[in-house]
Every structure is written in structure tokens, then in C-alpha cells.
């Protein structure tokens, strides 16, 4: 962001479904901050125990040192006086108080970069994310690749029939889907089982029936 006028902090938000590159984008921005020799601190909720505790790690194995915290208030206790930039990953798992906390940091002049899922496995706004989107100065909505049709995925499909909103997991438990292939109540699965992208590609390259029922030959 280019600033004119009075110096101030601000809030940047990066959101989207699982696998859309939120953590990669957060790490990219944080690396640039390091290159600019500004002090940065990164936090994640300790509920996200998928990977090693002291790192935020992307699905492509990029990593960045972070501090796991059990609630948002703890972030304030850990902020050093010299810190200029604060990163937060998996923000959807924090309570609503994260909104006040990041606003306080931005009011103090810090740059806050937040990444998190915008929607849960039902396609509903996830935890504090909608309000964070409202108060942020900048919002980036990333898309993944739909694992059924290869289109632009904006949804996170849970692959198990578990009703709890928070079931921490990765590739085995969730996949990215577009709006048309998203099937939160498994109603489409009963009509026609989805053909995974990899199988579709294999079928196409052999000139057989595609997922859309058209015949292609090479």
C-alpha cells in the first residue's frame, strides 16, 4: 500500500478456501517485510495442530516461524515494542475478540496481515472472518482449483460426514470445490459420484467420455 498523509497502521486480509494459497501469500508478504528489515511477529491459534507447532506451513511446505496462542488476547501480551508488522494465520479459529485486538494494533501504527478461511464446510461465513473483512483496509480473496471439475474453487468440501464446525485436517479430510461441485450435504454425491480431476484428465488424454458427457478424441 502506498501511503500519503498521516502515518498509520492498517489491516490486510487474505482469505479463500483451503488450498487457495493463503498461507503462501502470507509467507510471501512476511518475507518482503524481513527483506525490508522490519521486525515481524506471527501468530496462529494453537487449535491448528496439523503441522509443527512453531511454524505456519503451507501445503507446498513453505514455512515461517510463529507463536501459537490459545486466544487472541494473548497476541497483545507477546507484541514487542520494536515490532512493525504482525501476521496471523488461520484467523477463523479465533473468537470475535480478534477484531478488537487487530484494530488496536493497527491504531497503534502496526501493519497487520491476516489469513484465514472465509467460509466453513457448510459454505457459511467462518467465525470472525466476515467482520475482519469489513474492517480491513485491503481484502484479497484467493481461489483454488476445484478437485472435481478443475474450475475456480471458492468452497471447502469436507469429505467426511462430521457435523462439528472445526475438524482440523488437510488433504484427506477436505478438498477445494467450485460453487457448482460444492456438496455440503452430500446430495450430489447420491446422484452421481464426482470424477476427480486427475481421473478426468486421464480419460481426456485417452479420448474417452469426459465428466461432462462429451466424447473427445485426440
Please identify which residue in 8, 34, 49, 60 interacts with ligand ADP, judged by CB under 6 A: 60
How big is the site for ligand ADP, counted in residues (CB under 6 A)?
15
Please identify which residue in 91, 147, 148, 178 interacts with ligand ADP, judged by CB under 6 A: 147
The residue range among 17-25, 30-38, 74-82, 201-209 that interacts with ligand ADP, by the rule CB under 6 A, is: 17-25
Contact 89, 56 (CB under 8 A): yes
Residue 115 or 211 with smaller CB distance to Mg ion = 115
Positive or negative, the Cα torsion across 95, 97, 99, 101? negative
Is residue 96 among the annotated active site residues?
A: no
CA-CA distances (angstroms) from residue 12 to 54, 59, 89, 118, 148?
A: 23, 22, 12, 14, 31
Interacting positions 83-142 with ligand ADP (CB under 6 A): none
Q: And the C-alpha cell for 43?
A: 501468530
Instruction: Give the C-alpha separation, 19 to 175, whole Å.
Output: 8
Backbone angles phi, psi at 102, to 5 degrees: -70, -30
Identified catalytic residue from 12, 25, 90, 175 = 90
User: DSSP letter string over 45-103?
Assistant: ETT--SS-TTEEE-TT--EEE-EEESSTHHHHHH--TT--EEEESSGGGS-THHHHHHH
Residue 9 or 22 with smaller CB distance to ligand ADP = 22
The residue range among 20-28, 100-108, 133-141, 209-217 that interacts with ligand ADP, by the rule CB under 6 A, is: 20-28
Distance in Å, CB of 119 to ligand ADP, minimum: 12
Beta bridge partners of 73: none
Please identify which residue in 11, 15, 21, 23 interacts with Mg ion, judged by CB under 5 A: 23
Closest among 126, 144, 167 to 25, alpha carbons compared: 144
Please identify which residue in 145, 152, 159, 195 interacts with ligand ADP, judged by CB under 6 A: 145
| Residue 128 interacts with which of ligand ADP, Mg ion, none, CB < 5 to 8 Å by class | none
Please identify which residue in 9, 12, 13, 23 interacts with ligand ADP, judged by CB under 6 A: 23
| Residue 60 interacts with which of Mg ion, ligand ADP, none, CB < 5 to 8 Å by class | ligand ADP
Q: How far is CA 185 from the centre of its chain?
A: 22
Catalytic positions: 90
Residues that bind ligand ADP (CB under 6 A): 16, 18-24, 58-60, 144-145, 147, 176
Amino acid at each position: 500500500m502506498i501511503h500519503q498523509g498521516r502515518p498509520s497502521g492498517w489491516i490486510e486480509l487474505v482469505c479463500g478456501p483451503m488450498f487457495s494459497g493463503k498461507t503462501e501469500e502470507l509467507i510471501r508478504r512476511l518475507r518482503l517485510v524481513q527483506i525490508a528489515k522490519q521486525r515481524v511477529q506471527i501468530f496462529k491459534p494453537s487449535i491448528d495442530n496439523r503441522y509443527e507447532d512453531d511454524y505456519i506451513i503451507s501445503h507446498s511446505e513453505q514455512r515461517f516461524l510463529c507463536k501459537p496462542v490459545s486466544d487472541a488476547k494473548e497476541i497483545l501480551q507477546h507484541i514487542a515494542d520494536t515490532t512493525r508488522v504482525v501476521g496471523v494465520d488461520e484467523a477463523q479459529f479465533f473468537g470475535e475478540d480478534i477484531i478488537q485486538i487487530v484494530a488496536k494494533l493497527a491504531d497503534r501504527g502496526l501493519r497487520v496481515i491476516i489469513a484465514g478461511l472465509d467460509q466453513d464446510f457448510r459454505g457459511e461465513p467462518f467465525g470472525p472472518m466476515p467482520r475482519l473483512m469489513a474492517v480491513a483496509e485491503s481484502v484479497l480473496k484467493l481461489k483454488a482449483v476445484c478437485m472435481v471439475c478443475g474450475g475456480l474453487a471458492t468452497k471447502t468440501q469436507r469429505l467426511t460426514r462430521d457435523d462439528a464446525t472445526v475438524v482440523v485436517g488437510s488433504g484427506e479430510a477436505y478438498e477445494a470445490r467450485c460453487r457448482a461441485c460444492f456438496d455440503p450435504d452430500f446430495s450430489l454425491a447420491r446422484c452421481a459420484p464426482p470424477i476427480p480431476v486427475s481421473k478426468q484428465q486421464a480419460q481426456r488424454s485417452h479420448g474417452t467420455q469426459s465428466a461432462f458427457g462429451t466424447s473427445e478424441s485426440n
